[in-house]
Structure 1
């Protein structure tokens, strides 16, 4: 199968939906193929040999077995199992974009990789992290509840019980804080990250173990240090957004002469492009968080795959 034939098959493939089990069975019973004509462009070394390929009638092209196995592994936690529904969003000569509920994947047709993509429709960028399923560009398009919840899960994964110095979360915390500042939720985001990333010092105190007194002090120190780092990240991002806006988008006053809230060590309760709550029409962060939580619960009841 040459590159021209492969591209034609992908371009004319029908828009169908199927289950994971049907896709695996389709590839398992398909005829063997090895489209070296275009796969070699990715691996030009003479000692490289392509993975096994089989022609998929559902996808209309030859698919490397490792890519299908990687997709099955990423969907292994799905409650529907082999009945997990899949649909094709788009395809070209090198990959097939597939969706499963809100999750999206790029099935590589050359080296056999399967990459989970940003959950924003039509975006081909990868996720920031396994717990933050959006790219940096589309964090701002995410509802506040989903954004804070993803940050909390990610911070919990970085926790090191009994070792607060190693629990300090790293990338992509800056991207999460910048997205939160842009929607006037910096304080909520910072507290979600700090409380999830470290052991609760009050719970440690309740155990009343003299040997752990030093751990309590180190944990509080690490939490304060992380709060300061997040606060400085938020301050810098707010200053950047204010400078870019120039004037308040509500009353058109100059933003550079206004107290942005950070001078007193507090997070502003409005977006950086506005000077006061009277000018910013956006509901409070708490109101938007609760609204997003209700919407998420509604979607979850209608579609348990996410």
Structure 2
């Protein structure tokens, strides 16, 4: 029996067992295993050349997107979803290698390209960029973040500082007409909380303040109006204090959750930014070279 006949026989057996339609089962059973890789150019070639596929949807068909049967993804994929993915990878180019992480036919597929993870929505023309932690289904809280809030602390100092700078510069551009209003933001709080767990509060805080406000020694040159320069200076100091209070609140939360040093059981009291908040000074793990890096450009 040929490979194709074996596949058809397996589909028929599944059809008899489940009562589902043959075409739908064939598509689902043809889904590739995780790890299949292909070029973005090849997926675009499929999108540009393959005809419209007929699909049995679980919702009214007039709400359904136009799809084609992708041999690379292993299921029906909306044309618009592929184009959205191509737009997200425009800077990488058509030669980018894409790897399939998982496929749920007629629902979603998750693909990976250069550590970036994308959820291909197969029921509409949509792509969502996911947290870069493998198998995580969450999205990041900001365009500047590579990970969701649950996995931010696992990024380490260098990555958190980079995200803080990107987010801070974007925040500064948003408030270009009122630079004194740059402070605040849920995303900044998330970075600070992650920095507490990653033992890098000071470099992340400094990166946020520098990206949001710039060098305070240059305020008099940047802002010709002395009152505006003073307002931005005050805003900078308010934000510095606010971020410190966010950090303290996070440390108190961790202390309350752990109750005592996780190594020796001694009570946890004062906070030292240079040691993990779950440890007392005697049991703290020495800071890594990455944590000691002051600038982390």
The structure-2 alpha-carbon separation of the partners of 1:57 and 1:208, relative to structure 1 and needing over 3 Å to count, comes to closer
Task: Please state if 1:82 is matched with 2:94.
Answer: yes
**Mapping 1:54-65, distance limit 5 Å:** 54-65=68-79
Task: Please state if 1:172 is matched with 2:187.
Answer: yes
**What count of residue pairs does the alignment treat as equivalent?**
273
What stretches of structure 2 of length at least 5 have no aligned partner?
1-20
Q: Which protein has greater RCO, CA pairs closer than 8 Å, 6+ apart?
A: 1
CA distance in 2, matches of 1:208, 1:123: 45
- In structure 2, what is the equivalent of residue 140 of structure 1? 153
CA distance in 1, matches of 2:117, 2:140: 10
Task: Please state if 1:118 is matched with 2:131.
Answer: yes
CA distance in 1, matches of 2:185, 2:25: 45
Deviations 1:26-58 (A, max 9, x none): 2222231142423x2xxx5x8x43222111121
- Maintained 8 Å contact 2:133/2:151: yes
- Maintained 8 Å contact 1:144/1:289: no
- Maintained 8 Å contact 1:158/1:169: no
- CA shift at 1:5, angstroms? 4.0
Task: Please state if 1:288 is matched with 2:282.
Answer: no
Greater Cα radius of gyration, structure 1 or 2:
2
CA distance in 2, matches of 1:275, 1:14: 43
TM-score (norm 1): 0.81
Match of 1:127 among 140, 157, 171: 140
The structure-2 alpha-carbon separation of the partners of 1:217 and 1:17, relative to structure 1 and needing over 3 Å to count, comes to same
- In structure 1, what is the equivalent of residue 206 of structure 2? 191
* SS at 1:87 equivalent: strand
The structure-2 alpha-carbon separation of the partners of 1:112 and 1:3, relative to structure 1 and needing over 3 Å to count, comes to farther
**Mapping 1:66-105, distance limit 5 Å:** 66-78=80-92, 81-93=93-105, 94-105=107-118
- Maintained 8 Å contact 2:156/2:198: no
The structure-2 alpha-carbon separation of the partners of 1:195 and 1:207, relative to structure 1 and needing over 3 Å to count, comes to closer
- In structure 1, what is the equivalent of residue 165 of structure 2? 152
- In structure 2, what is the equivalent of residue 17 of structure 1? 37
- Maintained 8 Å contact 1:34/1:50: no
- Maintained 8 Å contact 2:118/2:127: yes
The structure-2 alpha-carbon separation of the partners of 1:144 and 1:34, relative to structure 1 and needing over 3 Å to count, comes to farther
Deviations 1:252-285 (A, max 9, x none): 3211xx3335xxxxxx321111221x3201416x
- Maintained 8 Å contact 2:38/2:98: yes
